[in-house]
Chains A and B, each alone.
Chain A
Amino acid sequence: MARYASLADTVGDTPLIGLPHLSPSPEVRLWAKLEDRNPTGSVKDRVAKYLIESAMADGLLTEGATILEPTSGNTGIALAAVARHHGFKLVCVMPENTSDERKQLLTAFGAEVIYSPAAGGSNAAVAAARALAAERPDWVMLNQYANAANARAHYETTGPELWRDLPEISHFVAGLGTTGTLMGTGRYLRERRPGIQIVAAEPRYGELVYGLRNLGEGFVPELYDADVLTRRLSVGSADALRRTRQLLSMEGLFAGLSTGAVLHAALGLADEAVKRSRPADIALLVADAGWKYLSTGAYSGDAAESAETLDNQLWA
C-alpha cells in the first residue's frame, strides 16, 4: 500500500537496495538504505518526529512553543517541517560554513536561522545555542546530541527495518554525527545478531573546523556509547568526494557527501572480507541525497579542487 493519510506518515520504511556494481563478489555484498526517501530528504525526519512527539508527550512542548536547536542542517530542516505541522516555531543555530542550500531550505520551511562562527564547526553552534537557551528559558532546546529520543527513533524504526530486510546482515556502517543513528540501530541489531560489526565512518574536515581555542571546548555527544561500536574510521574530504562520485557513476545513486565517507569505510570492510574469504552482507546508510551540495561543485569539475573547497565546510 503506497497511500498515506499525510506526508508525516511517510517517515521511515525506506528501501534497501543492492549495489551490484560496487559489491566485490556474490558472497560479499553491499546494500544501501535510502534515507533520502523521507519527507524532507534525510534520515533526520525519523529523529525530528521522535524528538518533537516525545517532547509533546512529556509536556515540554505546549501550544505555540518555540523550539531551539543547534544543527548543521538536516536536523533543522526536518524539525522545521514537523514544527510547522504542529504549529511550533523553530530557531536553528547553524555554523556559517554549511552549504547555501541548507540555509535556503531552513528559511523555506519557516525556521529562523542564527549563525555561529565557522571556526569550531558544530561545537560553536552547540555553545551558542546553550547560551541562547540560558537567555530564553521559555524556548525549548530538544538537544539532539543528548536526547534519548534521537537514538530511540533508530532503535524502534531503522534497526527493525534492516533486520526485516537483511536478516543475514554482517556489518552496519553509518556516519557519526550526533551518534544517534549508530547507537540506536547498532543496539537493536546487536541484540539480534551478537556477532555483527557496527562501524562508524567519521568525517575528517579541514583545519578550520577543528579551530577550538582549547581542548576543553571539545565535544562528545552525551548519546555516545563506544561499547556499541566495533570500529571507528576517519574519512577525509577527498575520499568522501571520490566515493560519492563513484556511487553516482557506478550505481546511478545520487547521494550526499557523508554517504561517500560511509561507502569508503564499507568498501574497506568488503575488501577485508574478500581477503579472508568470508561472506559479508554490509548495509550502509545513505543519510541524504546530493541536492543540497550541488553548489559546492562536488559533482562536477576538478575533483582535487572540489575537495579543497569542501575541506573547510561541514559536508556531513
Chain B
Amino acid sequence: MSIEVRIPTILRQHTAGAKVVTGEGNNLDDLLSDLDTNHSGLRGRIVTGEGNLHKFVNVYVNDEDVRFTGGLKTELSDGDSVTILPAVAGG
C-alpha cells in the first residue's frame, strides 16, 4: 500500500525539498504519522495539538477536501493521491 503525497513549498523543509513523498496508512491520520517517521516535524505543521487540522492547511484526497469526508479519519486506498496546500484567498 503506497500513497502519494504532494507537499507545498512551505513545508518542504521537512522533506529535504521533495515535492512528492510516499507513505502508508489506512486513513489520513495513520498516513501523517507514517510520514513523520521519515520527515520529522511534518505532522505537527498539519495537525494541531488538539488533533485537528491546522486552520490554514487544506488536505485533499483525490482532489476532495477531507474536512467533508471525515477529516483525519478519511479512509485511504492503495493508489490514492493526497495533496496538502495552504489556505489562500480567491475573489
Contacts and interface: CB of A to CB of B under 8 A. Distances in A.
A binds B: yes
A146 B88 CA distance: 15
B89 A210 contact: no
A230 B67 CA distance: 10
B86 A212 contact: yes
A210 B90 contact: no
Contact of A219 (B56, B57, B67, B83): B56
A71 B91 CA distance: 6
B88 A232 contact: no
A219 B60 contact: no
Contacts of B64: 231-234
B91 A75 contact: yes
Contacts of B45: 215
A209 to B, nearest CB: 6
Interface string A114-156: 0000001111011000000000000000001100000000000
Interface residues of B, number: 24
Nearest to A122: B89
Describe B's contact surface by its main secondary structure. Answer: mixed
A168 interface: no
Residue from A125, A203, A216, A232 having most chain B Cβ neighbours under 10 A: A232
Interface string B63-85: 11101110000000000000101
A210 B10 contact: yes
Contacts, number: 101
A226 B71 CA distance: 13
Interface of A: 70-72, 75, 120-123, 125-126, 144-145, 175-178, 180, 200, 202-204, 207, 209-221, 226, 229-236, 314, 316
Interface of B: 8-10, 45, 54-58, 60, 63-65, 67-69, 83, 85-91
13 contacts: A70-B89, A72-B91, A178-B89, A178-B90, A180-B91, A202-B65, A203-B90, A204-B63, A207-B9, A217-B86, A218-B88, A220-B87, A231-B68
Given A120-B88, A207-B9, 15 more contacts: A121-B89, A122-B89, A123-B88, A175-B90, A177-B89, A211-B10, A215-B56, A218-B55, A218-B56, A218-B57, A219-B56, A220-B56, A234-B58, A234-B63, A234-B64
